[in-house]
Amino acid sequence: MALNEETAAASTLAPDTGRPLTTQEKWRFGIGFALFSLIWMTAGTSGSQVLLPQRFTELGIGVPEVILGTMNSVGCVFALIANIVFGAMSDITRSRFGKRTPWIVCGGFITAAGYLLAANSAALAGIVAGWSIVQVGVNMMIAPAVAVLSDRIPESTRGTFSAFYGGAQIVGQSAGTFMGAQFIKHMGAGFLTGAVLFAITGIVAVLVWPRERSSKNDEVAAKTLSVSDILRSFILPTRNCRDFYLALVGRLSLMVGWSMVATYQLYILQKYVGLSVDESGTVISTMSVISMIVLIVTAMISGPISDRLHRRKIIVAVGSVIIAIGIAIPIMMPTALGMMLYAGVAGTGYGIYIAVDQALNVDVLPSQEEAGKDLGILNLANTVGQVLAPVIVGGVVATSSYATIFPIAIVCVLVGAVVIMLIRKVK
pLDDT digits (tens, 9 = 90+) for 103-153: 999 999 999 999 999 888 888 888 888 889 999 999 899 888 888 887 888
Return d(Cα 190, Cα 386) in angstroms, integer: 22
Q: What is the pLDDT of residue 221?
A: 46
More confidently predicted of 90 and 219:
90
Average pLDDT over residues 159-163: 78
Distance, CA of 293 to chain centre: 19
Contact by Cβ (8 Å): 247, 70: no
Return d(Cα 216, Cα 293) in angstroms, integer: 43
Query: What is the end-to-end Cα distance of the chain in Å, rounded?
Result: 20
Residue 173 has pLDDT above 90, yes or no: no
More confidently predicted of 224 and 69:
69
Pick the CATH number of 22-421 from 3.40.50.300, 3.40.50.10190, 1.20.1250.20, 3.40.640.10: 1.20.1250.20
Contact by Cβ (8 Å): 265, 291: no
Ranked by mean pLDDT, the top range of 10-24, 308-322, 335-349, 398-412 is 335-349
Mean pLDDT of the chain: 82
User: Which phi and psi angles does 196 have, rounded to 5°?
Assistant: -65, -45
Q: pTM of this prediction?
A: 0.73
Which sequence spans correspond to the domains of the chain? 22-421
More confidently predicted of 201 and 76:
201
Q: What is the pLDDT of residue 9?
A: 56
Ranked by mean pLDDT, the top range of 73-82, 277-286, 302-311, 344-353 is 344-353
DSSP-assigned letter for residue 61: S
Residue among 120, 127, 122, 119 nearest 59 (CA): 122
* SS3 state of residue 225: coil
User: Rg for the chain (alpha carbons), in Å?
Assistant: 21
Residue 170 has pLDDT above 50, yes or no: yes
